[in-house]
Amino acid sequence: MGRYVLRRMLQLIPVFIGATFLIYFLVWAVPGDPFTGMCGERPCPPQFVAAMNDKYSLNDNIVIQYVKYMSALLTGDFGQTYSEQSIGELISLAAPVSLRLAVVAVVIEAVIGITAGILTGLRGRGFLDNLVLVSTLFLIAIPTFVTGFVIQIVLGFQLEILTPTVSSKATWSELIIPGFVLGSLSMAYVSRLTRASIAENRRADYMRTALAKGQPKRRIVGVHLLRNSAIPVITFLGTDIGNLMGGAIVTEGIFGIHGVGRLVFDAIIDKQGAIVTGVVVLLVLVFLLVNLFIDLMYAVLDPRIRYD
């Protein structure tokens, strides 16, 4: 196991370098003057633009810029915005909020989605299966921003069950409704994926063997069926954490959450490429570490998998 983990960690290095360089190149290859609007309605003087280009190494080759950026990043320096704000501090304030929101969304989609998938997968066709099928189709067809606005208007403004926006503290309880909105689409996919996996594994040879041995139904379902059916679901849930953190722009905008999505959106509007690059580098790191954790979980769920 230790050798496998070490080999996988070494494999993450070229993937991390390649992904971050591609993101860095795409962000800084966008045409346009990043200093537009910094001097008001008038264009900035050429001396000011030249000084800013020299300060942020924008005149260097893209490869040299990337090397300088990664060298500073290894020391924990994410750089500064054009208004000389620390990007590291901005990310440190926004990332925990988005991480809590993503965790709440994953928990909600896992609990509701897996439960619905297990019930429909075990019982087969019937009223419950049709109800879950219609519900998941409804969630997939409705855009996230529509779901968010409907819940905010009905529960927030009309029924006054919850506050329409999230406070600056963004506590766990305040993030339940936004987390449901953010994870609603993935919840539908988790339900369908769980149902399909259980329905397929119910007809596997090891299930017939367990039944022929006379094992209790609870053990057959809990030990054999669910563990083998959970592998594709765990894979989806693990990779979905990074997707939820990076794709929460709409949800954070609806509920007034100051997280990573809001930070990236404001950075794109203000042409702050360094902020976008820093956030994406963080998300790439999260993706790689979560994928490594998922690979290790395979051996726990399926005893046939060994990392020797």
Q: For position 189, what pLDDT does the model report?
A: 92
Q: How confident is the model at residue 243 (pLDDT cuts 50, 70, 90)?
A: confident
Q: At which residue do the structure tokens 């594709």 appear? A: 232
In the chain, where the domains are located: 87-301
Q: How confident is the model at residue 53 (pLDDT cuts 50, 70, 90)?
A: confident
Q: For position 169, what pLDDT does the model report?
A: 84
In this prediction the pTM is 0.84
pLDDT digits over 136-157, tens only?
A: 888 888 888 898 899 999 888 8
Q: Among residues of the chain, what percentage have pLDDT more than 70?
A: 94
Class level of CATH domain 87-301: mainly alpha
